[in-house]
Structures are given as structure tokens and as C-alpha cells.
Amino acid sequence: MLAIKDLHAGVEDKKILKGIDLIINPGEVHAVMGKNGSGKSTLSNVITGKDGYDIYDGQILYKNEPIIDWTPEKRALAGIFMSFQYPVAMPGVNNTYFLKAALNAKRKNAGKKDLDAAGFLKLVKEKLDDLDMDASYLKRSVNEGFSGGEKKRNEILQMLTLEPELSIMDETDSGLDIDALKIIANGVNSHRSSKRAFLVITHYQRLLKYIEPDFVHVLIDGKFVKSGGKELALELEKKGYHWLES
Amino acid sequence: MIPNYLQTEFEKIISRSYFSKKIRPIREKAFNSLMIDGLPQKKSESWRFTDLSSIKNGHFSISDKNDAPKKFIKLPKYGFESFKTIVIYNGHYQEDISSLPDGIELLSNIDYMEKHSLYVKQPYMSSFDLLNTAFMDSGMSFVIRKKEKVSTPLRLLFIYSGSNNIMVSPRIHLDLEHSSSLFLLEQHVGNCDEYLYNGSMIVNIEEGAKLEHVRIQNNSKKTINISNHHIQQKQQSIYRFNQIAFGSSLGRVNLHANLIGQGADCSLNGLSLSSGKQHLDSNITINHQASYCKSSQDFRFILKDRSSGVFNGRAIVQEGAEKTDSNQSNKNLLLSEHALMNSNPQLEIHNDDVKCSHGSTTGSLDNDALFYLRSRGIKKDDAIGILVRGFASKKVDSIKNDEIQTYVNEHFDKWLN
């Protein structure tokens, strides 16, 4: 589904990613673990197409197509989604309006008709219940005045509504208490299937207790220094990152 | 110094037989003061960023009979069919197609002034008030009697037309007596060439009365629109003003509110949308003279292309105005790197026992927000539209009338695209 080959990227003259190789197949959950400044957010931003990054070398293939020149919206419509570490607040932009615009953009791209207000509401109400979210969320402005946990749930609500094939979870556990973490992990797990894949980016092993990865990669200074199964996360939890740093 | 054409036009207006001779001394007094003061200069603080050369170097003539409509005006095309409408076309009151809601008394200005033994205080806050007094035409006075709650909204529809470089100076008096209420829409429309509109509106809101006032300034992009509003509020009165400005090459709204009665509540709001080389200016003074009054100013500007904007907002709290609650906010969104905004919020407080705040922000679209929307599959242009509409929505939503909201949203979308 996703193939990253020898990717070198950065901001202006600062090299951040220094040769990343990663292959994600449908049905797999990959975790990328690393400390602050190791390049985790850069990796998710270059996959989703955020402006301001330079790609010096390498390739990103999604379903065998090179996507480096694609706009963020084209990548999203092709099935790539990111749950943001810091979801942006948008005062005056109604959550329902936003979510419906995103869903209808996807439907339009698939040659389907817009979903009407009633159909949309029915669809979203079910997801809201799963995430233990109140319907009043829908009336609020996107992420405005949301607590940390509410923002993250809102991200998962978008994921469940848009049904992407590749979901990148960027530090989804940051700022969450254990109850919120469980709700979010349940949301993610309910979305798992043999056709969908996840890239879970995290600092700590904590989230991986609830979202079990098939593969764990350790990112240090822009490179994967070690890859392994889920037991690698436990090892990191015990030993820290020092033993992997050269 | 005033432009020569004003001298010529003034002689013309005082010789017009259909204007009452009794007003002549009032006109002359204002004109003499104007000759001494001249039109505002750039060194004056509130005119620093607004260029008046189009008035100073232009040439405008007072509206005459030929400028009256030549054919029947079709009102439905201006929307708001459920409102009662007073039509003023190039400074001419169109009585045959105008109507009034129940509960409002309409007087000519001369009748109104005579009722007050010609002692109606004339506004003199700026040269444009003097200019309006010297040239006042299409004068109308509306009185809402004690306890009268006018249920149908009243619209004052100003239609601008023609290519004769007309100048009009409407003068409106509006009195809301004790515990009365009114919803007023002031709508400026038209498709005309260069034009100078300099209107003054004098509003008295008595104890416990309430006025909702919406001003839609959507006339041709070639016009100059100067509008002077003087509001006086007595105790426990409420005034809500919302302006949506799209039109004119130079648009300036002057709002002066005097809160003279305890517990008066004054809320002034504006949304200005400019493009091309338009220049839209909002100049506000709220003067707290009594205790326990509340005021707010909330003005937003969205600027495209090479357009420019000015916000000059001032709240004055006088010595005796204890427990004043006043806030001021100006937020501006620049959609082009060539657009220019000047923001100047000011507080002048002569009293310790007050709660006052002010703030101003100017910036371009938030790139993170734009990326967030695009990462959900929304096209860049649509994402920009969502964010700009979101920025404006607070001002549109504060207009408590569905018909007006729909009208504004439709025009907003056209403006955006």
C-alpha cells in the first residue's frame, strides 16, 4: 500500500529525514517510535503533503504511484488520512459543515451523489456513540474550545466517517487520560481490517498496549535504527532509547 | 478651503423653491462653518489613512428633477419583500412606492424641526456633518411613539443611479420614545457612475427603547459613501448596529454614540469586504457619560487585491460613568499581500471603576488550518472559502433576521468567487 524508498527530506537547509525505507501492506499496523526531534512529524507531514518541506531524494509510492507531487487533497481522496498531533481550531467553521464537506468531497471523487443532511446525520450519530461523544460536538466550531481529549476524539470521528485506507496516527496518545485513550484505541481497532493499514507514531509504548502493532520501527536522527515486532516496543519501554543511539 | 463646486452648488440649493426658506439660516450657518473648517486634512488623526482627493478634486452637482426615476421602480428586485420600504432615489423620496409599518409616524424634516421650534441641534462632529446640514435633501423624520413595538421591519432603500456626478445629502431623524422598539434596515444599492453620498442620521433612543439597525452598503464600486450616524441613548435603552459593507470606492461610516442614561447598552458591529482598489473606513466613538452602561465594538475586515481598510475605534469613559463595561475588537483578514489595513483601537478612561478591554489582530489565512482542511480531501479553493466564511460568520450570525442573513450570505459567496 505504502512504499517509502530511501527518503531524504527536510525544511530549507535542515536535513531531517536521512534515508527512510518503509513498506506497509494492507492489514498491517506499523508503529514508529522516537524521541522529540527524531523526525516523526516530518515523516507524517511529507506523506500527507504538507507545504514547506523539501524532498531531496527518494520516493513515496502509494498503491504503486509516486505521490510526492500530489496535493494534500489528492492524497486524502486516494485514501490517506492523518490524525493530527495538534488539531487546528477553526473559529466560525461548524463541525458538521466541515465533516459533511469532507465526506461529500470524497463521494464526489468516487462518482457518488452528495449525502443529504438526514443521511449524513444518521451516519455520524452512530460513530459519535462509539466514541462516547455528545451530539453537541457537531454544533460547535471545529476544535474551538475543545479539550485535548475532545480534539483527539474529533480526529477519530473524522477517520471513521471518511474511512481511509491508510491512517497515520500522529502522537494520538499525547494529552490523553487512560479512559480517553481506551475509547480512542477502540475507535481505531474497530476500523482495522485486512484492507486498511495504520502508521502509528508515538513517543511511548502506552498506546501500543491498546493498538497492537505488527511492526515497530525506531526512528533516531532521521533514520530507522531498528525494526522488529511488538516486543521491540516493550524493550524500548524498559531500556529507553540510549542503547540504540550511536 | 473647500472645492469651488461646493460654492456653486450651495447657491443652487438655497435658491431651490421646493426647500423651505425656514431652513435657510441653518444651511447658511453650517456652510459658513464648513468654509472656515474646510474638508478634513490628512493631519487629522481620524483621517490619516483616508484620502479625500476624489471629493476635493472631483466635481459633483446636487440632484435635480432630471435625476428622478424615469420609469417605474420594481421593488422586488431589491429583495426583502416582507419589509415595509421607504424609497429614496437619487435624493428623491418615492412616495408612490413607499410604505410604512404600523406604529411609525413620518414627518418631513421641516415639520419635525418646527415641532421642536427649529431647535434641533445640528451635528458638527466633522466637516461632513456640516456638509450634510448645508446640503440636506430627502429629509425625513420617523417617530415611534411611547411603548409602540413596531413588528414589521422598516427599510430605508437608497437607490443610486445615473452618470451625472450627483451628490446627495439625506438627513434622517429617528426618535424612539419610551419603551418603543424598531428593526431598521438601511440598504444602499445601485448601478451608477461617480457619485457622492453624504448622509446623516440622528437617532434618539429614549428610556427602555430598543433599535436594531442593519446597514447594507452595497452600491456601485464607483461611488463615495460617507455616512454619519449620531446616536443618543437614555437609560436602559438598547442599540444594536450591524453594517455589512461591500460597495463604493471610498466608504466611510462615522458612528458616534452618546450613552447619557444609566444602564444603556450599545453594540456596534461591522463586516467590510473590499476588493480592487476599494477603501473602506469605519470610524467609531462611543462616549460613556452615565454609569452602568455597556458597549461593544466588533469590526471585521476582509481585504482582497489592493484594497485598504481603516478601523478607528474609540471608547471614552467619562468621570461619572462608573461600572462601565466596554469592549472593543477589530480582526482583519488579508487575502492579498497588496492589501492594507490600518487599525487603531483606543480607550480613553477618566474613571477607575470600569471594565474595559480592547484588541486588534491582522493576518493572512492560517496555513495550518488550510492544510488541515485539504488533508481531509477538500480542494484548496473550497478550503479557503470555508475559512473565510468562518471568519465572517460571527458578524453575519449576529444579524437577527433570517432574510438579511440569506441575502448577505448570497452576496458574500459572490464576493468570494
Q: Which of B367, B377, B390 sits opposite A90 (nearest CB)?
A: B390
pLDDT in the model for residue A133: 87
Share of chain B above pLDDT 70, in %: 99
Average of pLDDT values for A109-123? 91
**Which residues in B lie closer than 8 A to residue A106 (C-beta atoms)?**
377
What letter represents residue B96's amino acid? D
Share of chain A above pLDDT 70, in %: 100
Cell of B244: 455589512
pLDDT in the model for residue B363: 96
CA distances from A180 to A188, A210, B14, B232 (A): 12, 12, 77, 54
Whether residue A162 and residue B376 make contact (CB cut-off 8 A), yes or no, is yes
Whether residue A81 and residue B375 make contact (CB cut-off 8 A), yes or no, is yes
pLDDT in the model for residue B140: 93
pLDDT in the model for residue B4: 93
pLDDT in the model for residue B187: 97
Q: Is B381 exposed, middle or buried (0-12, 13-18, 19+ CB in 10 A)?
A: exposed
pLDDT over threshold 90, residue B411: yes
pLDDT over threshold 80, residue A191: yes
pLDDT in the model for residue B215: 98
What letter represents residue B90's amino acid? N
pLDDT over threshold 90, residue A29: yes
pLDDT over threshold 80, residue A246: no
Quote the ipTM score.
0.96
- CA separation for the pair A73, B124 (Å, rounded): 56
Domains of chain B: which residue ranges?
A: 4-364, 365-417
- A158: domain CATH number is 3.40.50.300
- CA separation for the pair A27, A170 (Å, rounded): 19
Contact between B184 and B214 under an 8 Å Cβ cutoff? The reply is yes
pLDDT in the model for residue B17: 78
- CA separation for the pair A168, A50 (Å, rounded): 14
Residue by residue, DSSP assigns B74-136 as -GGGG--TTSEEEEEETTEE-GGG----TTEEEEEHHHHHHHTTT-PPPP-SSHHHHHHHHH-
Q: Is the Cβ of B381 closer than 8 Å to some Cβ of chain A?
A: no
By C-alpha distance, the chain A residue nearest B385 is A93
Length of chain B: 417
- CA separation for the pair B204, B232 (Å, rounded): 5
Q: Is the Cβ of B389 closer than 8 Å to some Cβ of chain A?
A: yes
Domain span at A44: 2-244
pLDDT in the model for residue B343: 97
What letter represents residue A69's amino acid? D
**Which residues in A lie closer than 8 A to residue B372 (C-beta atoms)?**
84, 87-88, 90
pLDDT in the model for residue A205: 83
For chains A and B, what is the number of CB pairs under 8 angstroms?
A: 75
Q: Is the Cβ of B372 closer than 8 Å to some Cβ of chain A?
A: yes
- CA separation for the pair A43, A18 (Å, rounded): 11
pLDDT over threshold 90, residue B162: no
Confidence of residue A198 (pLDDT cuts 50, 70, 90): very high
Confidence of residue A233 (pLDDT cuts 50, 70, 90): confident
Mean pLDDT of the residues in chain B? 94
How many CB atoms neighbour CB B370 within 10 A?
Answer: 19
Express each pLDDT in A34-92 by its tens digit: 888 899 999 999 999 999 999 999 999 999 999 999 999 999 999 999 999 999 999 99
Contact between A172 and A200 under an 8 Å Cβ cutoff? The reply is yes
How far does the CA of residue B380 sit from the closest CA of chain A (Å)? 8
A11, A50, A100, A158, best to mutate vs chain B, most B CBs in 10 Å:
A50
Whether residue A102 and residue B393 make contact (CB cut-off 8 A), yes or no, is no
Cell of B93: 423620496
pLDDT over threshold 70, residue A194: yes
Average of pLDDT values for B378-395? 95
> For residue B368, which of A221, A50, A11 has the smallest C-alpha distance?
A50
> Cα dihedral angle (B301, B306, B311, B312), rounded to 10 degrees?
180
Confidence of residue A195 (pLDDT cuts 50, 70, 90): very high
Q: Alpha helix (H) ranges present in B2-75?
A: 4-15, 24-37, 53-56
pLDDT in the model for residue A219: 94
Express each pLDDT in B12-28 by its tens digit: 999 887 777 888 999 99
pLDDT over threshold 80, residue B124: no
Give the three-state DSSP class for B160: strand
Give the three-state DSSP class for A204: coil
pLDDT in the model for residue B51: 93
CA atoms within 13 A on the CB side of B259: 35
Terminal-to-terminal C-alpha distance of chain B: 43
Terminal-to-terminal C-alpha distance of chain A: 32
pLDDT over threshold 80, residue B120: no
pLDDT over threshold 80, residue B408: yes
- CA separation for the pair B229, A14 (Å, rounded): 57
Cell of B374: 485539504
Confidence of residue B153 (pLDDT cuts 50, 70, 90): very high
The domain tally of chain A equals 1
- CA separation for the pair A84, A73 (Å, rounded): 15
pLDDT in the model for residue B119: 67
pLDDT in the model for residue A40: 92
The dihedral sign for the CA sequence B373, B376, B380, B385: negative
Q: At what angle do helices B380-397 and B367-374 cross, to 10 degrees?
A: 120
Q: Is B320 exposed, middle or buried (0-12, 13-18, 19+ CB in 10 A)?
A: exposed
Residue by residue, DSSP assigns A15-76 as EEEEEEEEEE-TT-EEEEEE-TTSSHHHHHHHHHT-TT-EEEEEEEEETTEE-TTS-HHHHH
Express each pLDDT in B60-105 by its tens digit: 999 888 888 888 888 999 999 999 999 999 988 999 999 999 999 9
pLDDT in the model for residue A109: 94
- Locate cell 446640514: which residue? B133
